[in-house]
Structure 1
Amino acid sequence: MKRYRIGSSAIRALGYDEQSRTLELEFISGAIYDYDGVPPEEVLAMLEATSRGKYFDDHIRGPYPYRRIA
């Protein structure tokens, strides 16, 4: 999955596969996680948020299952 750099103090890059609804996040620490079942409107809202890290904490981190991939 191709990741794109985003402006965030916590998240370095973001990738999204709409077909599988997998959100891939690369954090500033270098850790990469996949979050499953994330709808496209949630990804768009995160990209449009004033603070992408806060949006992630409030809306993505808890509700969606995840796995560390790197």
Structure 2
Amino acid sequence: MPSTVIHSYQYDPAACRLDIRFVSGETYSYFDVPQRIVAGLARAISKGRYFQSHIRDRFAYRRDRTGQARAAS
């Protein structure tokens, strides 16, 4: 089901980094995200609600001002 909040997301299991691109075009990288959280996001009927409840304000993050996800420095 398409999300009205999240355009796409990508997970790097080696780095435990979740990159989320929002429909606004902004991209954020979230760090130290367990794979179980990402699996929950994949299963969620409402990706936006899941994000609000399980990801936002729970993990360190960085906004990518170029609009593209970047590896952690």
| TM norm structure 1 | 0.88
Shift >4 Å, 4+ stretches? none
Bigger Rg over Cα? 2
RMSD, aligned α-carbons: 1.1
Residue number in structure 2 paired with 1:19:
14
| Structure 1 alignment gaps of length 5 or more | 1-5
Aligned residues: 65
| Structure 2 alignment gaps of length 5 or more | 68-73
Greater RCO, 1 or 2 (C-alpha within 8 Å, sep 6+): 2
Question: Which has a greater percent of strand?
Answer: 1
Matched residues in 2 for 1:68 and 1:31: separation?
Answer: 8
| TM norm structure 2 | 0.85
